[in-house]
Structure 1
Amino acid sequence: MFLHFLRRRLPLFSGALLILFAGCGGEKSVSESPRAVRGSSGGTMIVGMDADADALTPLMSSSAFAGDIAGQIFAGLAKTDPDMAGYSPWLAESWEFSNDRKELTFFLRRDAYWHDGVPFTAEDVAFSVPLYKSPEIAYGSMRWLRHITEVTAVDSYTVRFRFDAVYPYQLTDANVATPLPKHILGEVPINEIPTHPFHRNPVGTGPFKFVKWEPQQSIELEANESFFLGRPPLDRVVFKVVPSQTNLVTQLRTGDIDFYPKLRPEAYEDLQDVDHLRKLQIPSRVYYYLGWQNASPFFSDRNVRRALTMAIDRESIVKNLVKGRGAILNTPILPFLWAHDPEVPAIPYDPEGAKKLLSEAGWADHDGDGWLDRNGTPFEFTMKTNENNDLRKDIVVVVQEMLAKLGIRMRPETMEFTVFIDQTTGKDFESMCHGWKQGSKVDLTSIWHTQSINDRYNMVSYSNPRVDELMDRAVTEIDREKATKLWSEVQRLIAADAAYTFLFTLDDLYAIDDRFQNVELTTYSWTYNMHEWSVDPARRKY
């Protein structure tokens, strides 16, 4: 059950080309009203999560799970459609481009309110965008906003974005900066925004209101009675922190948890005999990787990084750890995106070739102790990952064994999730086992551009001037064929440089209690229509 689309929906890429090539400047999107929320009101859903959130606002949250929760508290100007090909109205009823496509004007709803009862207006939008662009805050996707030069509140319900370039993702970029309440944060000094209590006690415009957060235990939301599409059917959604995957699965079996969106393949198989659970497998936007800190003397050499990838049997990892439900990945752009290049050359599993590259770089067993060293320094480092993710921990152990066969001593180090995020975004690591949830926009600059090293997400300090040049051209290229060629070269260079050892992408595996109705899980987000979920009145437990 999708929200109604725009009658003239603006796609993320191809539609922008059609409008430009047709010369139809000034075309306006005309919206049907989004479908009102339906379903019997009442009931609570308990959602299991294996780690606590780091923040509950779109400005400061770093983890995918925290972002999912923030997405229920806050609403954007437009809502990404499930096929990720366009947008539907949300806080904005419609929008239009100027004739030269340098201005994008949003016409806002007049029935949207912040959870404290204050009306949502264009002033909130104009206030928020500079926060997302601020280097002092260092929002993770800050570079997506670099072509937005000005945001102006024309009146209370009209806001205009000004761009310094015409490119396919203007609507996407304008929608990145989810509005924040000016009446709460407007007087806060910019340097105090990142640590402001608001991020742990948020006030949004979304379908659910924040109630309370008990650290390392739970986060509770309640239905927003004044939500602009109508009150969500569920009274409450409680996100319960259960760090152990084994305990999560047990609680799904016993009914103590109603839903868990991150099952491991073996857990998914183990739950097939549980009659009250619906089991679903959905294509994913997530990929797993090993990151090598390029600023470290161990990993500054491209050939050493390639050797490490050659030492790792990724096929074995997919077969044994994810039970064949994953697909090996060689590129930072996933197959669901138009720019994915399936012909990117893979770095093969070749331990003997790895030994040769390491030897050429000066790494050999000079002292006869069975471990590689260079100039008296042993090839010995740590690989960090988060304690709550059993799959990542298993990957690290397997990789440790594979590298040991080459004489490389790697020490696993696990930590609480928010600590892991702080250390990796702060570049406080030698190597890491991590994962990305890819957006619907093809733009790798936040992770791979040299200028992003000082931001949060180029965690491995990767720098390649040729990649920078190609990405700068690709993100503004309006010709799909030319853009595809540019992104293909970007992917090939990044893969060859081996700052990441790309591991695999894995389908999202879900289990949800069959008491819940109107649930639609999509590749874009499992929370896509959470404001429509309901529970059978005859089977309510809470």
Structure 2
Amino acid sequence: DVKFSYSLYGDPAVASARSNYVENMIHTNGKFDVNKAITVVNDTTIIFHFTHKYPQRLFHLNLSPIPKHIYRNADRATLRSNPANEDPVGGGPYYVAKWIRQQEITLASNERCKLPAPGVLENVVARVITEPTTRLTELKKGTVDLMWPVYPEDVDELQRDYPDIRLETLPPRGYEYIGWANIDFDQYRESNGKKIVPHKLFGDKRVRQALTYAIDRYSIMKAKLKEYGEIAVSDISPIFRWALNNELKPYPYNPDYAQELLSKAGWSDTDGDGILDKNGVKFEFTLHYNAGNKRREYACTVAQENLKQVGIKVKIEAVDPVVFFDKIGNKELDAFMAGFSVGLAIDPTDRWGDIHNPFNNTGFSHPRVDELINLALHSDSNAEAAPFWKDLQFILHQEQPCTFMYWIKDIVGVNRRLKNTNINVLGPLDRMWEWRIGDPQGYATY
């Protein structure tokens, strides 16, 4: 199953977002050669063959296995829509007992699991509750045992009035950003990705810099995240201290300098209507966010007012979350506020590498960035890779392919009756097969 899975991940027909995980394994004639790259010794031993040493090798062995007996004859080009996807199969501590799309997933303990062990709890139910107030109410009532994120404005009430709920904070692995279409997405899509031309509003890096200077990110962060946020400089997480370029400072809120940059880029108010224009084009656009996300709604509202002060007209539009993320992935939104969660190893290939990459939602492209990512990923150690990651951050800081808003230290709410949680940099669900239910007042240490 593992070898078969990697043959799928490395097959261009599948177009996996994780195809870069196999690029440093053995290839033949420029194509991933699964038979040379992976040797199955026996039922418990498998050998991966890499072309060189590099720090992420163990992380690149962490892709989920796919059952060969189910997908052996599947059409690889249409794998995402294969009917078998509706009935997932696995060998872990839990299996999917029931799945109601967009509502809930019921996991049942898998008594056949040997690695590591069957789940202690008979069932774990994951519910989809999109409305934040409803989520919080369920946590307060005790009908939900674990919920995240808890919003910072709710922390004081929970700590004061709900002693059966404890709060834990996750290290910052997720950030929010406002994405700007660096290229003309309409022409990109109409040409099937062949025509790459700068966007009429956001194609100039001076404009993107101006947008970041014009938005008061700090006031947004303090209002909505309080001490649970950190202004972002790039998308290299603060958890990777060894790789951070500490010489870079966040762009300050400076609307006067933003106007100066916009002027240098050729934007001015020629007709006196309060909106900048250039070559007959008004600087106005729609800023989208996923409906129901109150923090992003607030941030977009502040950004709208900030940008108005420098002569930019912004309309705000909330989009159904499923539609919203589909549109971002298809490069259909010119301006949007979204977020991204980074992995436990630095690898921004899918975001800043090839312009056609699935998570390159802004259409950003820079030849030196591609070189730096390649050099860093082919380094023998983190120490060797660090200078390349620092140079990458410098370029992103200059280019501003998006406005990096802030890193978020997500708050997790846990009912004290839920025991043996292990909330850490891996997330709230680490080792969830060890969870137990007990007396909420019977806790000792957490």
Under a length normalisation based on structure 1, what TM-score does the superposition of the two structures give?
0.73
Q: Which residue of 1 aligns with 2:301?
A: 397
Unmatched segments (≥5 aa) in structure 1: 1-123
SS at 1:148's partner residue? coil
The one of 276, 283, 290 equivalent to 2:164 is 276
Q: Which residue of 2 aligns with 1:259?
A: 146
Q: Distance in 1 between matches of 2:105 and 2:316?
A: 30
Q: Distance in 2 between matches of 1:357 and 1:397?
A: 23
Unmatched segments (≥5 aa) in structure 2: 27-36, 184-198, 442-446
Using the TM superposition, give the Cα deviation of residue 298 of structure 1 relative to its aligned residue in structure 2, in angstroms. 1.3
Q: Distance in 2 between matches of 1:383 and 1:153?
A: 51
When residues 353 and 256 of structure 1 are mapped into structure 2, their CA distance, relative to the original with a 3 A threshold, is same
Q: Which residue of 1 aligns with 2:51?
A: 164
Q: Distance in 2 between matches of 1:428 and 1:366?
A: 30
SS at 1:324's partner residue? helix
Q: Which residue of 2 aligns with 1:225?
A: 111
- Give the total of aligned pairs: 413
Using the TM superposition, give the Cα deviation of residue 496 of structure 1 relative to its aligned residue in structure 2, in angstroms. 0.9
Could you say which structure has the higher helix fraction? 2
Q: Distance in 2 between matches of 1:202 and 1:193?
A: 13
Q: Distance in 2 between matches of 1:145 and 1:538?
A: 46
Write out per-residue CA displacement over residues 44-64 of structure 1, whole angstroms, 9 at most, x where no aligned residue.
xxxxxxxxxxxxxxxxxxxxx
Using the TM superposition, give the Cα deviation of residue 333 of structure 1 relative to its aligned residue in structure 2, in angstroms. 0.8
Residue identity opposite 1:283 in structure 2:
P
- Root mean square deviation, CA, Å: 1.8
Q: Which residue of 1 aligns with 2:317?
A: 413
Under a length normalisation based on structure 2, what TM-score does the superposition of the two structures give?
0.88
Using the TM superposition, give the Cα deviation of residue 465 of structure 1 relative to its aligned residue in structure 2, in angstroms. 0.7
Q: Which residue of 2 aligns with 1:459?
A: 361
Q: Contact conserved, 1:335 with 1:342, CA < 8 A, in 2? A: no
Q: Contact conserved, 1:285 with 1:524, CA < 8 A, in 2? A: no
Q: Distance in 1 between matches of 2:65 and 2:301?
A: 42
Matched, 1:291 2:193: no
Using the TM superposition, give the Cα deviation of residue 342 of structure 1 relative to its aligned residue in structure 2, in angstroms. 2.1
Matched, 1:133 2:19: no
Q: Distance in 1 between matches of 2:334 and 2:25?
A: 35
Q: Distance in 2 between matches of 1:242 and 1:476?
A: 42
The one of 216, 220, 233 equivalent to 1:330 is 233
Matched, 1:212 2:98: yes
**Structure 1 stretches (4+) deviating beyond 3 angstroms?**
154-157, 479-482
Q: Which residue of 2 aligns with 1:500?
A: 402
Matched, 1:308 2:185: no
Q: Which residue of 2 aligns with 1:436?
A: 340
Write out per-residue CA displacement over residues 145-202 of structure 1, whole angstroms, 9 at most, x where no aligned residue.
2112222323333322222222222222122x21110011111011121111233321
When residues 537 and 182 of structure 1 are mapped into structure 2, their CA distance, relative to the original with a 3 A threshold, is farther
The one of 214, 218, 221 equivalent to 1:318 is 221
When residues 238 and 480 of structure 1 are mapped into structure 2, their CA distance, relative to the original with a 3 A threshold, is closer
Q: Contact conserved, 2:164 with 2:440, CA < 8 A, in 1? A: no
Using the TM superposition, give the Cα deviation of residue 479 of structure 1 relative to its aligned residue in structure 2, in angstroms. 4.6
Residue identity opposite 2:431 in structure 1:
N
Q: Which residue of 2 aligns with 1:145?
A: 22
Report % sequence identity: 35
Using the TM superposition, give the Cα deviation of residue 269 of structure 1 relative to its aligned residue in structure 2, in angstroms. 2.8
Matched, 1:184 2:70: yes
Using the TM superposition, give the Cα deviation of residue 417 of structure 1 relative to its aligned residue in structure 2, in angstroms. 2.1
Q: Distance in 2 between matches of 1:529 and 1:464?
A: 40
SS at 2:77's partner residue? helix
Q: Which residue of 2 aligns with 1:59?
A: none
Q: Which residue of 1 aligns with 2:438?
A: 536
Q: Which residue of 1 aligns with 2:387?
A: 485
When residues 135 and 293 of structure 1 are mapped into structure 2, their CA distance, relative to the original with a 3 A threshold, is farther
Q: Distance in 2 between matches of 1:509 and 1:309?
A: 27
Write out per-residue CA displacement over residues 117-137 of structure 1, whole angstroms, 9 at most, x where no aligned residue.
xxxxxxx01100121223333
Q: Distance in 2 between matches of 1:447 and 1:141?
A: 12
Q: Distance in 1 between matches of 2:61 and 2:130?
A: 36
Write out per-residue CA displacement over residues 49-100 of structure 1, whole angstroms, 9 at most, x where no aligned residue.
xxxxxxxxxxxxxxxxxxxxxxxxxxxxxxxxxxxxxxxxxxxxxxxxxxxx
SS at 1:225's partner residue? coil
Q: Which residue of 2 aligns with 1:62?
A: none
Q: Contact conserved, 1:145 with 1:174, CA < 8 A, in 2? A: no
Q: Distance in 2 between matches of 1:493 and 1:478?
A: 23
Write out per-residue CA displacement over residues 448-471 of structure 1, whole angstroms, 9 at most, x where no aligned residue.
11x2x2121111111111111121
Q: Contact conserved, 1:138 with 1:456, CA < 8 A, in 2? A: no
Q: Distance in 2 between matches of 1:231 and 1:164?
A: 37
Q: Contact conserved, 1:307 with 1:358, CA < 8 A, in 2? A: yes
SS at 2:314's partner residue? strand
Q: Which residue of 2 aligns with 1:246?
A: 133
Q: Distance in 2 between matches of 1:235 and 1:411?
A: 49
Using the TM superposition, give the Cα deviation of residue 281 of structure 1 relative to its aligned residue in structure 2, in angstroms. 2.2
Q: Contact conserved, 2:14 with 2:78, CA < 8 A, in 1? A: no
Q: Which residue of 2 aligns with 1:366?
A: 270
Write out per-residue CA displacement over residues 207-247 of structure 1, whole angstroms, 9 at most, x where no aligned residue.
11112222232121111111213321111111112221111
Q: Distance in 1 between matches of 2:163 and 2:215?
A: 39
When residues 401 and 538 of structure 1 are mapped into structure 2, their CA distance, relative to the original with a 3 A threshold, is closer
Q: Distance in 2 between matches of 1:215 and 1:174?
A: 29
Q: Which residue of 1 aligns with 2:289?
A: 385
Residue identity opposite 1:430 in structure 2:
D
SS at 2:326's partner residue? helix
Q: Distance in 1 between matches of 2:331 and 2:426?
A: 29
SS at 1:262's partner residue? strand
Matched, 1:234 2:136: no
Q: Distance in 1 between matches of 2:43 and 2:97?
A: 29
Residue identity opposite 2:345 in structure 1:
K
Q: Distance in 2 between matches of 1:458 and 1:144?
A: 17
Q: Contact conserved, 2:416 with 2:440, CA < 8 A, in 1? A: no
Matched, 1:173 2:60: yes
Q: Distance in 2 between matches of 1:151 and 1:339?
A: 31
SS at 2:167's partner residue? strand
SS at 1:433's partner residue? strand
Q: Which residue of 2 aligns with 1:524?
A: 426
Q: Distance in 1 between matches of 2:68 and 2:362?
A: 35
